[in-house]
Structure 1
Amino acid sequence: MAQQERFDWWAAQPAGRKAVLPSPVRRLTLGRSAARTAVEPSAAASAAPEETSVSAEAAAEVYREVQASAAFQEIRRGYRGFVFPATVAFLAWYLLYLGAQAAAPGLMRSQVAGPVNVAWLLGLLQFASTFLLAWLYARNARAKRDRAALGLRWDTQDQLR
């Protein structure tokens, strides 16, 4: 797939249709000069007075600009800053559990309380750590990324109207 077409899948309209957007369509101005999107003359003449048709390519360009923007990159950096270390930590914890099962079966059979042994305890802690990780992810997203992503979404939608 060509680089030009890489992100067109979300903005693509069914064959023969053009996106209908209010006039005039503004372009994303994150770090760039304020520019107005060119509206196709034939589409402007056939549209209702308050609406103007813009090609799918123009709409896709707005999304490409958003993707290249510093605000979007900061949101992705925040996402990756949490998800990658959390994934590594969870996989390490899981592999430690599996390694302990294979390397130290005597230790894993040690009784902790009643019929519960170390293996059962560590297995149940795997579930607990999954729920803890999900809670931490939601808290991190709510505190650090959701507001910025919503603002970027509203800006983008304003540009597509």
Structure 2
Amino acid sequence: IHGPDFAVAIIKVILNTHISENITEIQKKYINELVNDIKNKKQESFGLFEALNDNDFQEQFLAFSQSIYAELPNYPLIHDFIKYRIWPIIVHQQHLEGMFNKYDLKTHPNMSINLQESRMQLSEPKPLEISLTQEKLSEIRLKNKRKRTIIENNSINNEESATEILQ
């Protein structure tokens, strides 16, 4: 949305090219930020400043900055720059955020202390204390099946007892 506005700021600050006097507030903010970054020696541009040394790229960049409704495919050099230099950074950032969100406990202040501690304990990375084998898995499944059978039998007996009381 603000690509051309940012391009105007780059042209003004980096290329020292005169631009029209009708500078928008957003363009002023971008210009001030760029000036502050340069003063603070923050000049990481992901290769944009170097790419502007190419005359064809610079020509497209100037045209892009003057466009009102810029569609990147109309500027193939800028489109390729964003596609191969900027877009992977954004995608990588989203992957990192996803990884951190995976380990976010999402505890809430209204949760009891015990519940918060339980969530912390469950989220701790722990090495497996036992090695899982097919035999051990079968044994665990058999124990769980026996527990379910006992619970089902108890519920049947409870139903029979309740029926006898009512009769």
Higher strand share: 1
Decide: shared fold, TM above 0.5: no
TM-score by length of 1: 0.29
Report which of the two structures shows the higher radius of gyration computed on alpha carbons: 2
Choose between structure 1 and 2 for higher RCO, CA contacts under 8 A separated by at least 6 residues: 1
Normalized per residue, which structure has more helix? 2
